[in-house]
Structure 1
Amino acid sequence: MKILLTLFIALSVMLSSPRGAMAEELNCDQFLEGSTPWASCNNYNASVDADKDLNDAYRNLMTVMNKPAWREAKKKLIAAQRAWIIFRDRECEFSQELIGGSNHVNQSECIADMTEKRAEYIKSLYESYK
């Protein structure tokens, strides 16, 4: 029970922090496979991986757009990305309200899924404009 409480507190803090604050994956081997703590831990790790992937794609695209001709587009990309992060978080909160169940399991899965999709989109922009 102490491990479950510790994981719950850690995930609560991490999920309420800005995504950039998530740096390392958690070791999920200590939890029973299929349990809520195990699912929470794995979804958290998926969101960390997706966030790293998105940040790499975003950095690559920003490098390509580091030309005077792209100055305005780059400003709009920065604004769009900031707005998207807020949208993602609010969308996952809304989705959680509809689904119910274990808050951090569903919410972290939503965050991971949406972040993976955004990373793929940013990568496609990079491939188009590099």
Structure 2
Amino acid sequence: MIWLFLAGALSGIISGMGIGGGVILIPALTLIFDMEQKVAQNINLLYFIPTAIIAIFVHSKNKTIEKEGLFKIIIFGIIGAIIGSFIAVNLKGEILRKIFGWFLVVMGISEILKKEKGQKNGNNGI
């Protein structure tokens, strides 16, 4: 039970920062709780709704949301979500798990390289 609490809390903190709690929640559900990949991703989608609403409220209140181009991003995000949903439903869980794993590896490497590039340019990479 404590692991479930920790996974949810850490995922919520990361979601509130705008990073995406699924990076923590999905691996926790699949590795620690031995859930099937598709089940973990579906739980993540449901988990995302209340955390996103709270994050939007807080960021909007603090005026940290860039509104220019927001409509286009939302529309293309919805189109991408529809396409991604159809793809995910038709893939085997094991393939979906591998794709997600590679996505995390690529994003991690990208962040490391971004930080190194920032340090070479004389700033801290932020």
Name the TM tier (shorter chain): 0.3 to 0.5
TM-score, normalization by structure 1: 0.34
Q: Which has the higher contact order (CA 8 A, sep 6+)?
A: 1
